[in-house]
Chain A
Amino acid sequence: MKVTVDQDKCVSSGQCVLNAAEIFDQRDDDGVVVLLNENPPPPQAENARKAAAACPALAIDIEE
């Protein structure tokens, strides 16, 4: 699985960290998404998908 994020689209909702804190973080000063791991291991794949589905700005893209 390969994860990419679009920081320009991000609206700092925090939905990615809520669903997959092991893969995503937020910048401290404005909450914009920071990708911690672009190749999450299989046990984290489901959380990554949930985060992408929950992102209100459609800023997370996942290639299976």
Chain B
Amino acid sequence: MSDTLTGTATEVPDYPMDRDARCPFAPPPQVLEMGEAKPLSRVRIWDGSTPWLITGHAVARELFADSRVSVDDRQDGFPHWNEHMLSTVHKRPRSVFTSDAEEHTRFRRMLSKPFTFKRVEGLRPAIQEVTDECIDAILAGPQPADIVSKLALPVPTRVISEMLGVPYEDHEFFQRHANVGLARYATAEDGQKGAMGLAQYLIDLVKKKMENPSEDAVSDLAERVNAGEISVKEAAQLGTGLLIAGHETTANMIGIGVLALLENPEQAVLLRDSDDPKFIANAVEELMRYLSIIQNGQRRVAIEDIEIAGETIRAGEGIVLDLAPANWDATAYPDPDKLDLTRDAGQQLGFGYGRHQCVGQQLARAELQIVFHTLLRRIPTLRLAVPLDEVPFKHDRLAYGVYELPVTW
């Protein structure tokens, strides 16, 4: 292939790409085609730079776990999500999302206490109770009902609010502000408004908990501030991350997951009729694989040259690890376009992989396992109340999903 400047400039496709409206669950067709040809190739992003797009499952796993791949967004060549992230890069304190190695480990361990496997197992009765209350309200209310506002948002929001010690009454405030910050193409100005409002809210909350701690995750962070380990701003930044990641992503996964089950009724029956916790757990992994809702690629930069799959990623070059095509890599998952709850989806990359893999993954798993199974059991005649092509999808958010999901039964 010719490597002249003009040659590459015209060949490099723009990223992100659009989905095919007829296949709303599938990754964009162009990204799948690129993945079939090679596990990594160049794309052009919003600022004109041309980072590597990783589409292969094995290469993605390898790079996620490679210590020469950095999440430090202040490094030259880092492929920022959008203008907002670039414009705030020197204003945002270092966090678990943007630090490497020992510094990352220090932040990560401050956050991990509420999310250990056993702690989350202990929360299952509470998650079940919240889920049942939401479904009671749906059954008692008018039809059609919106699954997003009645189930997908309230369950994870109530659970994370309680874990963090954020008053649930404030959920409208933090949902609105989190929404602005998660716009896929956020301008500098939009993003700034959302980020500032939420940051100030968390700063105030950390200060409150420094004086009046209780048994929750923000109090744990406040205790670290009191001990001089981190600043108030850092604690607020970590708390903001947990709050946003703790409800928005799971909510999207519930909404679009219910839709995927309604569109694959034979799979929904398998899940509904199973009493095997292992089957239910794997079903959620398969839904995570199939839907891969984090749609903007995990952003990294190489800090040394890396030889991989016949290519050389040079130090200072951007890397975009796109979870959806990696989870639809036919060499890892045959017939990837089929939702098949009976396949072993154990190595799915929906939570990422490597040191930065989702902190709240065990909580998300427990919530998803309980919500999908309980909903199918309690409302077995559940069906979509509008044609599929009228369901509004979140093409413009960092996390894919549906804005609303009207159902009847």
Q: How far is the CA of A26 from the CA of B352 in the complex (A)?
A: 21
A18 in contact with B117 (CB, 8 Å): yes
Option from B113, B354, B356 in Cβ contact (under 8 Å) with A30: B113
Q: Is A62 an interface residue (CB 8 A)?
A: no
A14 in contact with B65 (CB, 8 Å): no
Q: Contacts of A57 on B, CB cut-off 8 Å?
A: 65, 354-355
Q: Kindly count the residue-residue contacts between A and B in the assembled complex, taking CB atoms under 8 Å apart.
A: 63
18 A-B pairs with C-beta separation under 8 A: A11-B105, A11-B112, A11-B357, A12-B109, A12-B112, A14-B361, A17-B118, A18-B117, A28-B113, A28-B116, A30-B109, A30-B113, A31-B115, A32-B112, A54-B347, A56-B352, A56-B354, A57-B354
Q: Is B377 an interface residue (CB 8 A)?
A: no
A58 in contact with B65 (CB, 8 Å): yes
Q: Contacts of B105 on A, CB cut-off 8 Å?
A: 8, 11
Interface size of B by CB at 8 A reads: 26
Q: Which residue of B lies closest to A56 (CB)?
A: B357
Q: List the interface of chain A (C-beta within 8 A of B).
A: 8, 11-14, 17-18, 21, 25-26, 28-32, 50, 53-54, 56-58
Q: Which residue of A lies closest to B102 (CB)?
A: A8
Q: Of B116, B357, B365, which is in contact with the most chain A CB atoms at under 10 Å from its CB?
A: B116
Q: Which residue of B lies closest to A50 (CB)?
A: B346
Q: Of A17, A18, A26, A31, which is in contact with the most chain B CB atoms at under 10 Å from its CB?
A: A31
B109 in contact with A18 (CB, 8 Å): no
Q: How far is the CA of A7 from the CA of B130 in the complex (A)?
A: 35
Q: Contacts of B120 on A, CB cut-off 8 Å?
A: 14
Q: How far is the CA of A50 from the CA of B56 in the complex (A)?
A: 21
Q: Contacts of B357 on A, CB cut-off 8 Å?
A: 11, 13, 56
Known: A31-B109, A31-B113, A58-B65. A13 touches B118 (CB 8 A): no
Q: Which residue of A lies closest to B108 (CB)?
A: A11
Q: Is B353 an interface residue (CB 8 A)?
A: yes
Q: Contacts of A11 on B, CB cut-off 8 Å?
A: 105, 108, 112, 355-357
Q: Which residue of A lies closest to B355 (CB)?
A: A11
Option from B64, B356, B362 in Cβ contact (under 8 Å) with A18: B362
Q: Contacts of A56 on B, CB cut-off 8 Å?
A: 64-65, 352-355, 357
Q: How far is the CA of A5 from the CA of B346 in the complex (A)?
A: 21
* Cβ of A52 to closest chain B Cβ, rounded Å: 12
Q: Contacts of B365 on A, CB cut-off 8 Å?
A: 18
Q: Which residue of A lies closest to B96 (CB)?
A: A11
Q: Contacts of A32 on B, CB cut-off 8 Å?
A: 109, 112
Q: Which residue of B lies closest to A26 (CB)?
A: B116
Q: Contacts of A53 on B, CB cut-off 8 Å?
A: 347
Q: Which residue of A lies closest to B361 (CB)?
A: A13
Q: How far is the CA of A58 from the CA of B354 in the complex (A)?
A: 8
* Cβ of B249 to closest chain A Cβ, rounded Å: 16
A17 in contact with B117 (CB, 8 Å): yes
Interface code B345-368, partner A: CB below 8 Å = 1, 0 otherwise? 011000011111111011001000
* Cβ of B81 to closest chain A Cβ, rounded Å: 22
Interface code B24-63, partner A: CB below 8 Å = 1, 0 otherwise? 0000000000000000000000000000000000000000
Q: Contacts of B113 on A, CB cut-off 8 Å?
A: 28-31
A14 in contact with B115 (CB, 8 Å): yes
B347 in contact with A14 (CB, 8 Å): no
